[in-house]
Amino acid sequence: MAVGKENVEVVEITKPRTDTRDYKRIVLPNSLQVLLISDPDTDKCAASMNVGVGSFSDPEGLEGLAHFLEHMLFYASEKYPLEDSYSTYISEHGGRTNAYTSSEHTNYYFDVNADCFEEALDRFAQFFIKPLMSSDATTREIKAVDSENQKNLLSDAWRINQLQKHLSEEGHPYHKFSTGNWDTLEVKPKARGVDTRDELLKFYKENYSANLMNLVIYSKESLDKIENRVLSKFQEIRNIDRIHPSFPGQPCTPEHLQVIVKTVPVKRGHKLRITWPMTPGIHHYMEGPSRYLGHLIGHEGEGSLFYVLKKLGWATSLSAGESDWTMEFSFFKVVIELTDAGHENAELIIGLLFKYITLLQQSGVCKWIFDELSAICEMTFHYQDKIPPIDYVVKISSNMQLYPSKDWLVGSSLPSTFSPEVIQSALNELTPNNVRIFWESTNFDGHTELTEPWYGTAFSVEKITASTIQEWMKKAPEEDLHLPCPNVFIPTDLSIKNVKEKVNIPVLLRKSQYSRLWYKPDTTFSTPKAYVKLDFYCPFAGSSPEANVLTDISTRLLMDYLNEYAYDAQVAGLYYAISHTDDGFQVTLTGYSHKLEILLDTVIAKITTFEVKSDRFYVIKELVMKEYENYKFQQPYQQAMYHCSLLVKDRSWPWTDELEVLSVLEPEHLSRFYPQILSRIFIECYAAGNIESIEAELMIQHVEDVLFMGTKPLSQALFPSQHLTNRVVNLEKGVTYCYSKEGLNPSDENSALLHYIQVHQDDFKLNIKLQLVALIAKQPAFHQLRSVEQLGYITVLMQRNDSGIRGVQFIIQSTVKGPKHIESRVQAFLKMFETKLYEMPDDEFKSNVNALIEVKLEKHKNLREESSYFWREIQDGTLKFDRKDHEVAALKQLSKAEMIQFFDEHIKAGAPQKKALSVQVFSTTHATEDTGDAGEGKIVNIEDAFSFRRSRPLYGSFKGGIGHMKL
C-alpha cells in the first residue's frame, strides 16, 4: 500500500559507507513522520517515538507535568488494560524499555527479541492512541516522581544545573524546575483546587499530536513489510495539527551576564564553569563552529590551556563545548576541575582562559585545523561501530526533530563546509561582556547569602566588569600558549587484514612463564579497528591497603604523564587506559589498528621508566583524597553495594583504611614501592580485531623483552604459589545474614536495602535456571515493589556474578520506608512470586525459555562488545568461550518442574538451601525503625565485616595461573 507517498519527497539519507542497512522515510496520513530501518542481521528489534513537547510546555504552577505524563503512559491502555502489561511483555521477551523528558521533547523507546516485535509495537502504539491513566495510578506515580527527585537532591550535577536555570529570566521556560515533586504535582495544585489528573489528561490531549511526533522502527523485515505494519498500528494516533511549540527570546538578559556566582557543592572539591550564551550551533551544523572552538579550547596537548594549567598544578581536568541548546538559544561551556592551588588562583585561571581566547582571535580561523577535524569526523562517521538498536533509534528519532531528513543519521557529526566567518562569529561571542562564571567550592560554605529554592543550594552573586577580567588577564602567568601541532595519530591505512583462520572464539596463541596471549581475529565486523588488553597480575599490588593506594596512584600518574602525547591518539579514535585492578593494573587499547602498536610501545616504555615527580604526586594524591572523602556522598544504594562487596570478596580493603594510609603518603613511599609492584608479574593478554597473529605475538614478545630480559630485568616470573586469585566467601546454607550500617551522609533521607541470594559456582545447568528465574521475576518485582507499593524510584532485581559465583540481588532505595520494612516486603514478594511460578502455564514457561535463548544467541554489535564478553571469561578464569552454545543446549532440555525445584531449593522464602545476605543502609529518619520480620529461617547478624569474612570458607578460584588449576 502506498502510504501517503504522493507528498513524501524521496530523499537520499546519508549513511556510513560500511552500513549495509536499508532506510526509508515515510509520512502516514495522520502526518506522523517515520524512518524505517531494515537490518536482516539484527537479533533485537527496536522503536523510539520522539514527541516534540517537553518540560518547557509545563503549565504554570504544575512543574514536572510533562515528565509525570512520561511516567504515566507506561501503566495501561484501553486496548491493554492490565496494569504494567506493556513492561511485563517487553521484559519477558528479552527486551528493555524506558523514556526521558527534556526541555522540548519526550522520548519513549524499547527493544525486544525479533519474533515478538509485532505485539510489542502494538502495545507501544497504544501509548499514543488511548492510554488509561487511572486516578489510582496517578497518585501512586506522583510518589515515584517525588522519589526520583529525592534521589537527585544531593547530586551536584542536578543542583548546579538548576542554579544556572534559577539565574535566568523568570518569564523564560529555561528558568523552570522541570522534574516535578510531591509538592508541585500534589500539594500545591490541591491547595488551589486543581485536579492533577484532569490537568494530565488535558496536557496529553492538547500536546500529543501525530504531527509533533517522529518514529523510528528498527526491524529484521523488509522495508515494505515494516511499512505496512507501521501503517496498521500507528495511523490511529490523533493529529490535531498542533503547531510546534516554540520559545523565542533569550534566557539570559544583561542582568544575568557579567556575573560570578559562588556556590557550595555537596561533594568536596572546586570547579569553575565558565559559560557564554551563544547562537545555537545547529544553525550552522555543516560549518561546525562550536566543534572547532571546543576542539581548541578543550585540547590537552602541548601549548593548550589545560597543558598550562596542569603544569602550574592548578587543574585536573578541562572540557569545552556547546551544551543546553535548543533552536533558539545555546550555551558554550568550559568546565575546569581545580586543585586546592587552582582554587586559590581561580581568577588567574579565568584570565588564562581569556588569554587563550584572545590567541584564537589573533591567530584567525585555521583551515588546516578545520580540515583535520573534518577528516577525523568523516572517518569516525564512516567507520562507526554498530551500536545496540535501542540506542540507535533514540539517537535518530531525536535528530528527526532537528535536521532535514538527509542528515537524520549524521546530525551535527560531519562538519564539511569551511566558513571562517561563521567560526569567527561564534568566537566573537565568547567575550568578557557576555560571560557567566559559576565557581563551586566547599570553601564557600558559610560565605554565601542566597539559596536556590528547589534544591537548597547555597550561593552568592557578584557583578564583574570587562575591565576586571582584563586585570586578571594581565596578572595571569606568562605561559607559552599556542595552537596544537598537526595530529600524527590520524590513521592513513584503513585496510582490513586478511585472516587465514576463521575462529569464532579466542585461541591461546602463546604461553610462557611470563605471559599468556589469547587471540581472536575479526571475522565479523570488517572494521580497521583492534582491541588489545594486557592485565598485569602483581601480587604485591593489592597486598595491603597501603599497597592498593600506591598502585592506584601509580596508574593515575602514568596516565597523567602520557596525557599530552596520547591526547592526539584519542582525538583520532585510538583510546587507551591504564587502570588499577584488585591484583595490579591493566592496559587497554582500542580503536584504529594502524598506529596502535606505536601507542602501546610508548605506554610500556612509560611503565618501565616510571619516575615519581613530586609536584604531580601531590596533585594526584589530593584528587584521590577528595574521591575517598566524597565517598560518604554516594547514593545509599551504592553504599549498600560497597558493603556487600566488602563482605563477600576476599582481599578487599575498606575505603576508611585506604584514606587513613593515603593521608601520610609521600613521593618517596611510591618511589620505594613501585619497583616492588613490577618485581614479580604475570601478564594475561588479549588481542582481537584487525590484527594478524604474528603482529600480536611480536607485540607481547616485545613487552616480555622490555620487562623480563636484559642484564638487569625489572621483573621476574611469578612463583607457582603466587598465582591464586579471585576468592569469594561461601555463605552458609539455610541462613540469612544481616549487616546494618548507618548511611554516611546525615543529610540524605534515603535508606537502601541490598538483598543478595548467593546460589552456586559457575555451572551451565544452574546458570540457566538462575537466569530464567531472574528474567521471569524482574518485571513483577519492579511492578509490585516500585509501582504498587511505591517503596522507591530505584527498585531493581538483577543477577550478580562475582568471579563466577552466581546469584541474584534486590536493590531498593527509599525515603518512605526503612531497610527492615523493605526487607519484609522483599520476603512478601518472594512468597507472592512463588504462586505465580507454580501456576505458570506451560506455554508461558516455553515462551520465557525461548526469550532467554534469543537473548543468549544475540550477536555482538561491535568489536568492543565482543572483546568485553570474551575478556570476562579470561578475567574470571572460567574460559568457557563457547558458553552460549552449552547454555542454550541446557535451556532446550529444561523442564518447568526442574526450574521450580531450583527455585524451591535456592531462592524462595524459607528455602532450606538458601544462602542470603541482607545489607541495610539506614538514614537518620529510619534509625528508630521497628525491627520487623528480617527474613525467614535462621537470622545471623554480622557485627564486624572482617571477622565474618575470616570465619567463612571461600569458593575455589577458577584462576590458577599457567597450569590453570581449578581448586
- The pLDDT score that the predictor gives to residue 651 is 87
Query: What pLDDT is stored for residue 966 in this prediction?
Result: 35
User: How confident is the prediction for the chain on average, in pLDDT?
Assistant: 95
Tell whether the model's pLDDT for residue 962 goes beyond 60.
no
SS (H, E, C) 114-144: HHHHHHHHHHHHHHHCCECCCHHHHHHHHHH
Percent of the chain whose predicted confidence (pLDDT) is above 70: 98
- The pLDDT confidence band at residue 967, using thresholds 50, 70 and 90, is very low
Give the model's confidence band at 936: pLDDT under 50 very low, under 70 low, under 90 confident, else very high: low
Separation CA 661–CA 625 (nearest Å): 10
Q: How far apart are CA 942 and CA 811, in angstroms?
A: 19
Q: What is the pLDDT of residue 7?
A: 54
Q: Percentage of residues in the chain with pLDDT exceeding 90?
A: 94
The predicted model gives 679-698 an average pLDDT of 97
Cβ atoms 752, 634 nearer than 8 A: no
Q: For residues 158-186, give the mean pLDDT.
A: 97
Q: What's the whole-number mean pLDDT along residues 1-26?
A: 78
Tell me the longest C-alpha to C-alpha distance in the chain. 86
Q: What would the pLDDT profile of 626-646 be if each residue is shown by its tens digit?
A: 999 999 999 999 999 999 999
Distances (CA, A) of 463 to 251, 275, 334, 471: 18, 15, 19, 15
At 831, list the grid cell.
Answer: 512468597
Query: Which regions of 405-480 does DSSP assign to beta strands (E)?
Result: 436-441, 450-451, 458-463
Q: How far apart are CA 250 and CA 259, in angstroms?
A: 17
Least confident of 32-46, 716-730, 945-959: 716-730
Helix (H) or strand (E) holding 537: strand 529-537
In angstroms, the CA 113 to CA 852 distance is: 9
Q: How far apart are CA 360 and CA 894, in angstroms?
A: 67
pLDDT in the model for residue 959: 82
pLDDT digits (tens, 9 = 90+) for 33-58: 999 999 999 999 999 999 999 999 99
CA 376 to chain centre: 24
Cα distances (angstroms) measured from residue 715 to each of 383, 550, 586 = 39, 18, 16
Q: Which residue has cell 522502527?
A: 217
For residues 645 and 248, what is the distance between their CA atoms, to the nearest angstrom? 51
pLDDT tens digit sequence for 185-214:
999 999 999 999 999 999 999 999 999 999
The H helix count followed by the E strand count for the chain is 31, 25
Q: What are the DSSP calls for 905-936, one per residue? A: HHTSTT-TT-EEEEEEEE-GGGTT-------S
pLDDT in tens, 402-416: 999 999 999 999 999
d(CA 169, CA 838): 60
Which amino acid belongs to residue 719?
F
Q: What does DSSP assign to residue 680?
A: B
Count the Cβ atoms, other than its own, within 10 Å of residue 449: 8
What pLDDT, in 10s, does the model give residues 804-838? 999 999 999 999 999 999 999 999 999 999 999 99
16, burial (CB in 10 Å: exposed 0-12, middle 13-18, buried 19+):
middle
**Which pLDDT value is given to residue 2?**
38
Using CA atoms, how far residue 34 sits from 1, 4, 215, 393, in Å, is 15, 12, 5, 11
Judge whether residue 548 has pLDDT over 70. Answer: yes
pLDDT at 556 over 80: yes
User: Which residues are designated catalytic?
Assistant: 70, 141
**What gap in Å lies between CA 822 and CA 813, rounded to an integer?**
9
Residue 136: Cβ within 10 Å count: 10
Pairing type for strands 33-38 and 213-219 reads parallel
DSSP 266: S
Helix (H, G, I), strand (E, B) or coil at 782: helix
Q: Per-residue pLDDT for 525 more than 50?
A: yes
CA distance 144 to 812: 13
Q: How far apart are CA 568 and CA 487, in angstroms?
A: 6
C-alpha cell at 244: 510546534
Are the C-beta atoms of 529 and 592 separated by less than 8 Å? yes
pLDDT per residue over 68-82, tens digit each? Answer: 999 999 999 999 999
Q: Which amino acid is at 46?
A: A
The candidate with the shortest Cα–Cα distance to 636, out of 100, 150, 161, 181, is 150
pLDDT band at 370 (very low <50, low <70, confident <90, very high): very high
pLDDT at 682: 96
Dist. CA 651–CA 946, nearest whole Å:
10
pLDDT, tens only, 497-507: 988 778 999 99
The predicted structure's pLDDT at residue 5: 41
Question: Cα(210)–Cα(52) distance, rounded to whole angstroms?
Answer: 10
Instruction: List pLDDT tens digits, range 602-628.
Output: 999 999 999 999 999 999 999 999 999
Phi, psi of 616 (to 5 degrees): -75, -35
- On the question of pLDDT at 935 being above 90, the answer is no
* 795-802 sheet: strands from edge to edge: 795-802, 805-814, 751-761, 915-922, 735-742, 938-941
pLDDT at 961: 47
Q: Read off the pLDDT of each residue in 281-294 and give the average, rounded to a whole number.
A: 97
Task: Count the Cβ atoms, other than its own, within 10 Å of residue 631.
Answer: 18
